[in-house]
Chain A
C-alpha cells in the first residue's frame, strides 16, 4: 500500500532557479513529515521536517509546505545548486510510529 507517493521520478532544473518536489499521502493519521536526501552509495540524510500543526517550515534554502486538506506536501529549494543533485525522499509517520517513505524523486541541477 503506497501511503506516500512521489509521482515525479525525476526533475531537472537550472542552477539558481527554484526546485519544487511534491509528495502526496493518503493516511490522514500522519502527523509528522520529513524530507531526506540521498546521494549514491550513501544512506539517506535528514533535510527538513514539519509537524501537522504547521503549514510551513523553513531552513535556509529549504522550505517545506504542508497542505493537510489536500494531503500534499512540497519541498522548495531556492536557489538550487548543483550540489543539491540527489534523490529526495518524502516520509511520513503517524503518532511517531513507523515511517512510510515515497519512492523518491531524482533532482538534477544543471550548472
Chain B
C-alpha cells in the first residue's frame, strides 16, 4: 500500500460527458502528479501540483483540468469525453517539489468511455 488513494476505482461513462477523478496523496506529501496510461502505452505525464499551485504541465488536453485543494487532495476533471480518453489514470505523490525521489503511485482509476 503506497498510501496514495484514488477514487473511484472504475468509471464507465458516455461520450460527451464530464467526470472527476480524485486523489489523496500520502500524508505529508505536497506534490501530486497525474498520469494517463492508454492501452499498451507508457505513462503520459499530465500535470503536477505542488502545495496547491500548478507546477508543471505535460501532455494535458485543454478538455482536462486539475486542481489541488488546501487539504492537498487533488481532482482531475475530464470533460467532453471521447472514446480515446478511455485509459487508466494514475496519481502519484512526492514530499517535495522536484522529482528527484521516487513517486508513490495510487492504484489508478480505470475510465471507460462508451
A residues contacting B by CB (< 8 A) are 4, 6, 9, 32, 34, 36, 41-46, 49, 89, 91, 93, 95-104
A84 to B2, CA, bound (A): 19
| Residues 83-112 of B contacting A (Cβ, < 8 Å) | 90, 92, 97-100, 102-108
A111 CB, min distance to chain B CBs, angstroms: 27
Do residues B40 and A34 form an inter-chain contact, with CB atoms below 8 A?
Answer: no
Q: A32-B100, A93-B99, A96-B100 are in contact. Are A45 and B42 (CB under 8 A)?
A: no
Q: A99-B45, A101-B45, A103-B42 are in contact. Are A43 and B108 (CB under 8 A)?
A: yes
Do residues B92 and A4 form an inter-chain contact, with CB atoms below 8 A?
Answer: no
Do residues A43 and B41 form an inter-chain contact, with CB atoms below 8 A?
Answer: no
Task: Give chain B's interface residue range (CB within 8 Å of chain A).
Answer: 20 to 34
**Number of A-B residue pairs with CB-CB distance less than 8 Å in the complex they form:** 63
- Contacting A32 at CB < 8 Å: which of B41, B45, B99? B99
Residues from chain A with Cβ under 8 Å of B58 in the complex: 98
Do residues A89 and B43 form an inter-chain contact, with CB atoms below 8 A?
Answer: yes
A/B interface sample: 22 pairs, CB < 8 A: A4-B42, A9-B40, A32-B100, A43-B2, A43-B105, A43-B106, A43-B107, A44-B105, A46-B103, A46-B104, A49-B102, A89-B42, A96-B97, A96-B98, A97-B56, A98-B33, A98-B56, A98-B57, A99-B43, A101-B42, A103-B41, A104-B42
